[in-house]
Amino acid sequence: MRLTRTALDGPVVVELEHRADDRGFFARSFDRATFAEAGLEAVVEQANVSFNHRAGTLRGMHYQLPPATEAKLVRCTAGAILDVVVDVRPGSPTRLQHVAVELTADNRRALYVPPMFAHGYLTLTDGAEVVYQVSEAYTPGVERGLRHDDPVLGIDWPLPVAVISDKDAAWPLLEAGA
């Protein structure tokens, strides 16, 4: 695995290092020791799969507060998505800034999302499937979210949002200067 830091302190792009032969290739997609050595949360509490019928499906922007903050390792296993993370750490010099990474079945990249970063994605293809490894169980009482179209965040989504849950569409807007 190759771990590449992003413009924000915390999120990391995880790329596979292929060991190829005439059968195809083998690659390690997660290694607890490598993650821990890099200062990344290395616990996996849950593994989740999300399948999306249509391009333009938006899921997010979700995060959990203490005591149930969660790190995620997100990989697109079919189709393509634009994966976006937003820094929501109190007092962070990059608070409310975001990073966007295209994850596809072809590029096989993953994105490590640290605790206290809101996470969401927009499907770029029909039939996009996303796999998450998550460090903490889903805890509804501490779940929070940001609006994908909040002008304070300034996220440039490459497609119009065609499908979104009522819950994700209803997160409150941030106040300018928040």
Q: Which active-site residues does the annotation give? A: 62, 132
SS (H, E, C) the chain: CEEEECCCCCCEEEECCCEEECCEEECCCCCHHHHHHCCCCCCCCEEEEEEECCCCEEEEEEEECCCCCCCEEEEEEECEEEEEEEECCCCCCCCCCEEEEEEECCCCCEEEECCCEEEEEEECCCCEEEEEEECCCCCHHHEEECCCCCCCCCCCCCCCCCEECHHHHCCCCCCCCC
